[in-house]
Structure 1
Amino acid sequence: MTETEKRKELKSTSSKRSPLKFFILVYALSIPLWVINVIFPIKLPVDNLPVTDIVATFAPMIAASLLLYREEKLLGVKNLLKRTFDYKMITKKVWYVPIILLVPLIYVLTYEIMYFVGLPVPNVWKPPLLTPLLFIALFFAAAGEELGYTGYVTDPMQARYTALTASIIIGLVHGAWHFPSEISIGQSLGLIIWGGVILAVSFRILTVWIYNNTGKSVFAAILFHAVTNTGRSIFPGTRSAFELGDGAIGYGLIAITALIVVFLWGSKTLARFRYARSGA
């Protein structure tokens, strides 16, 4: 099947889905939570995030479920939720390497650069004993977001645009969705730009890249998301240390990685390696 035929098939199967309705519904579900946070600004012990983020992180999944119920009834919702653990889609197991190790390696490099330039990061790293529990919690939080952003809206967006353009649009929408929380915890304008815009777009490019190369596995996207967030939370000195200098070092490295991925795998699909052997 040619790339054109694949795009036509994808567009046909995703034709009933409306990215615009999804984005609007995600924000509509989140606005009351942002208002509550303004009135009752209670923070979580992890990354100083608003308590309301616990619920808000599931807004994309809820929005996707509501739209799927309207479009495909209960079966569509069940099929979406099943994709949380669709790890059997990952037939090329080598992709577990970037899923699990890519961002942690970026974090290690971030620490080394920060230490070299004299930023006040701790000399000793002691991972919290509750890291496994934190990872489990962040896995399900990631599922709340990725079942919507990857499981529902990515394919119809790719049917309309290139993989890169779809990633940029989803990344910008997702990044802006984080602004209320970032403002609530007192982040600087520079950090909002680096973390809320540059990171959001770069992370979405990497997520779509992984998704497209793992047989469209939502589990792969969720795992990648969970590893990313867990690693940042247990960074030496926690997230506040990682974001020294407005997070320009760590988020800049992730952005550079995304650019490399676009160059090597192509903006059209993010799935055709530039130097693959012909016929492979």
Structure 2
Amino acid sequence: MEKPTIQHTLPSGIWGFFALSFIFSWIVWGAMLALPLPDDLMFPLLILGAFGPTVAAIYLVYRYGNAAAKKDFWSRVISVKRIGWLWYPAILLIFPAIYLLGYFIYTFFGGEQPPVASLFSGLDSASAILMFTFVMLVAGPVSEELGWRGYVLDPLQQKYGKDLGSFILGMFWILWHLPLFFIEGTSQHAKGFGFQFWSWSFQLITLSFIFTWVYNHTNRSILGAILLHLMANLAYPTNLEPTGELVFTAVRALIVLVIVLAWRQKESVKEELVMV
């Protein structure tokens, strides 16, 4: 059963959060583009900039939240019980399932599934894989999810509903990443602004819907969002040509369609019960 989103109690507002997130991240990433910094500082700064949403969320929680709001926030970050054990398999398997299904369909168009080692950038030692996974956990899931899902998703849903709120968050998620497309060495810079940019952008929109669906079913767990983000990063198909991008776009769109239809059906049932 989907658990209702509780009333968001922090008075800072949606747009203040987005402003702080963008200011923090874009200043750090902008410095990487504008200043002649030594090479050994580039990666740490890249990671630091990614913490904009999380830094904004923590600041606003402590600036405007009462003791109960602060306790609730950190409980959602660390509590493993909030998720519910039946949802751990969904969190861990949904993106690998999309990965396998997408490549299965892609084979009918002449594509080939890359080796499993490609999910870990070709690393083959346990220590290297663990370090890679740790970096992937920090650089994205931890640095972003305390903000995107942990802070701003609740008020977006309350003001705009699940579907429009998820879409708005997805759009800001895309815009927030834009400086990375100009920083050499990032995966975004490698994509450029061709078809891969539009496929990647659509992916973030679809991910936003999937994240909302999981978030609402896991008692607003930030930990669940962190783990889901990690799996999305690990099971991300790379180096696809246009046909492959279209296949994965169609798979993601179908999943989102099912989610939205389920939301609409649930709302319809609620309205019928109210009328009765």
TM-score grouping bracket, smaller chain normalisation: 0.7 to 0.9
2:234 and 2:269 map into 1 onto residues whose CA distance is 29
Query: 2:274 is matched with which residue?
Result: none
Query: 2:61 is matched with which residue?
Result: 68
Query: 1:33 is matched with which residue?
Result: 28
Q: Provide the aligned length of Structure 1 versus Structure 2.
A: 251
Query: 1:90 is matched with which residue?
Result: 83
Query: 2:166 is matched with which residue?
Result: 167
1:156 and 1:133 map into 2 onto residues whose CA distance is 35
Are the counterparts in 2 of residues 150 and 221 from structure 1 also a CA contact under 8 Å? yes
Q: How does 1:40-51 map to 2 (within 5 A)?
A: none
Are the counterparts in 1 of residues 10 and 64 from structure 2 also a CA contact under 8 Å? no
User: Taking structure 1 as the reference length, what is the TM-score of the superposition?
Assistant: 0.77
Q: Given the alignment of the two structures, is residue 254 of structure 1 paired with residue 252 of structure 2, yes or no? A: yes
| 1:227-274 residue CA offsets vs partner (Å, 9 max, x unmatched) | 110122xx5xxx3x2x332833324322221111111243877xx999
Are the counterparts in 2 of residues 81 and 147 from structure 1 also a CA contact under 8 Å? no
> Which letter maps to 1:244?
E
Aligned sequence identity (%): 25
Q: How does 1:40-189 map to 2 (within 5 A)?
A: 52-72=45-65, 79-91=72-84, 93-119=85-111, 122=114, 124-126=115-117, 128-129=123-124, 130-141=128-139, 142-184=141-183, 185-186=189-190, 187-189=192-194
* Aligned-pair CA distance for 1:111: 2.1
Query: 1:206 is matched with which residue?
Result: 210
> Which letter maps to 2:207?
F
1:191 and 1:99 map into 2 onto residues whose CA distance is 26
* Aligned-pair CA distance for 1:73: 6.4
- C-alpha change, 1:121 and 1:94, in structure 2 (3 Å) is closer
Q: Is there any run of 5+ residues in structure 2 with no aligned partner, and where?
A: 184-188, 271-276
- C-alpha change, 1:162 and 1:89, in structure 2 (3 Å) is same
Are the counterparts in 1 of residues 53 and 147 from structure 2 also a CA contact under 8 Å? yes
* Aligned-pair CA distance for 1:53: 3.1
Are the counterparts in 1 of residues 215 and 221 from structure 2 also a CA contact under 8 Å? yes
Are the counterparts in 1 of residues 136 and 230 from structure 2 also a CA contact under 8 Å? yes
> Which letter maps to 1:219?
L
Query: 1:217 is matched with which residue?
Result: 221
1:268 and 1:22 map into 2 onto residues whose CA distance is 30
Query: 1:277 is matched with which residue?
Result: none
1:219 and 1:171 map into 2 onto residues whose CA distance is 19
* Aligned-pair CA distance for 1:28: 0.7
2:224 and 2:94 map into 1 onto residues whose CA distance is 13
* Local SS of the residue matching 2:101: helix
| 1:177-229 residue CA offsets vs partner (Å, 9 max, x unmatched) | 11221344142332222212x11111011001001011111111111110110
* Local SS of the residue matching 1:152: helix
* Aligned-pair CA distance for 1:52: 3.7
1:113 and 1:41 map into 2 onto residues whose CA distance is 45
Aligned-pair Cα RMSD in Å: 3.2
Q: Is there any run of 5+ residues in structure 1 with no aligned partner, and where?
A: 275-280
- C-alpha change, 1:79 and 1:15, in structure 2 (3 Å) is closer
* Local SS of the residue matching 1:150: helix
- C-alpha change, 1:42 and 1:145, in structure 2 (3 Å) is farther
- Judge which range, 214-223 or 255-264, deviates more: 255-264
2:137 and 2:20 map into 1 onto residues whose CA distance is 23
1:42 and 1:178 map into 2 onto residues whose CA distance is 23
1:171 and 1:65 map into 2 onto residues whose CA distance is 21
Are the counterparts in 1 of residues 163 and 209 from structure 2 also a CA contact under 8 Å? yes
* Local SS of the residue matching 2:110: coil
